[in-house]
Structure 1
Amino acid sequence: MGRSHGGLTTKSTSRPTTGDAPAFTKVMARLRVPRRRGRPRTRPDVVLADKAYSSRAIRSHLRKRGVRGVIPERADQQANRMRRGQAGGRPPAFDREAYKQRNTVEQCINRLKQWRGLDTRYEKTATIYLAGLHIAGIFLSAR
């Protein structure tokens, strides 16, 4: 809890920020892929992610769930694998053509960040922030 001009807030400058990768499994657990008919699927066919998500834990999580991961290998991981020689194993599979589709997601995020309230996170609670995200999504899809 932090204190702002408006009172207590959930935003705090004393806590370090974490990246998206540690929350990957939680996001995957809440993911729903809509179908034309029936219940939404809980497992996508493919996950496109950038190099920040290139970790052994994330790749094994995707393999266990039967999801194809299109994640480029980080340079330090590649160098470590090459240094180990044959013991380093094969490089992880990477589909360059499928990875080009990730640009669509980046463009969507950039359009959402044009909403100042979402970009700077003025809302005090996660519920109100999520509501603002839904409203922005409705406006952007109506364009």
Structure 2
Amino acid sequence: MAVLVSAGQASDPTFLVPLLDAVRVPRVMKGRPRKRPTSLRMDRAYGAGVYRRALRARGIRCICPEREDAKKARLKRGQRGGRPPSHNPEAYKERNLVERCINRLKDFRAVATRYDKRGWHFLSVVHIACIVLWL
């Protein structure tokens, strides 16, 4: 759907919105492509408020359990802590499809080792690996 390459030391929240903007799902009938998925499955590590707020602003449902430190902080605040975020455990189980896809990409030596000096060249290698996996 979309692939972005960033600097290794860059934080993930910086690239969440540009990655969502890069997604373009063509419609079966005529019309402009969809740019917003209905839901997004994320790892528990990405369940921070920064990610949840960015998704909520775009109307995307976040399927991610609450982090333990966030749960403790929310409970510590008492009634001011608010409600816990909703979570669908059955939908969260399907997240392994993404994890398996990333592991399949790492089967390609050029993707796993990242010897390329330029980001655009590495991105082209990732695209070629995605095409090979898709075929």
Q: Shorter-chain TM-score category?
A: 0.7 to 0.9
Please tell me whether the aligned partners of residues 24 and 34 of structure 2 are also in contact (alpha carbons under 8 angstroms): yes
> Aligned pair in 2 of structure 1 residues 73, 52: CA closer, same or farther (>3 Å)?
same
The correspondence of residues 86-125 of structure 1 with structure 2, limited to 5 A, is 86-125=79-118
State how many pairs are aligned: 128
Residue number among 19, 37, 41 corresponding to 1:44 in the alignment: 37
Please tell me whether the aligned partners of residues 50 and 71 of structure 1 are also in contact (alpha carbons under 8 angstroms): yes
Q: TM-score, normalised by structure 1?
A: 0.81
CA distance in 1, matches of 2:114, 2:8: 16
Partner of 1:17: 9
Matched, 1:30 2:22: yes
Matched, 1:53 2:46: yes
Please tell me whether the aligned partners of residues 75 and 81 of structure 2 are also in contact (alpha carbons under 8 angstroms): yes
CA distance in 1, matches of 2:83, 2:24: 32
Partner of 2:69: 76
Question: What SS does the corresponding residue of 1:100 show, helix, strand or coil?
Answer: helix
Segments of 4+ moved more than 6 angstroms: none
Please tell me whether the aligned partners of residues 13 and 50 of structure 2 are also in contact (alpha carbons under 8 angstroms): no
Task: Kindly report the root-mean-square deviation, in angstroms, between the aligned alpha carbons of the 2 structures.
Answer: 1.7
Largest Rg, 1 or 2: 1
CA distance in 2, matches of 1:121, 1:20: 19
Structure 2 unaligned residues grouped into runs of 5+: 1-6
Structure showing greater relative contact order (alpha-carbon pairs closer than 8 Å, 6 or more residues apart): 2
Question: What SS does the corresponding residue of 2:100 show, helix, strand or coil?
Answer: helix
CA distance in 2, matches of 1:22, 1:98: 26
One-letter code aligned to 1:83: K
Distance apart, 1:16 and its partner CA: 7.0
Q: TM-score, normalised by structure 2?
A: 0.85
Distance apart, 1:25 and its partner CA: 1.6
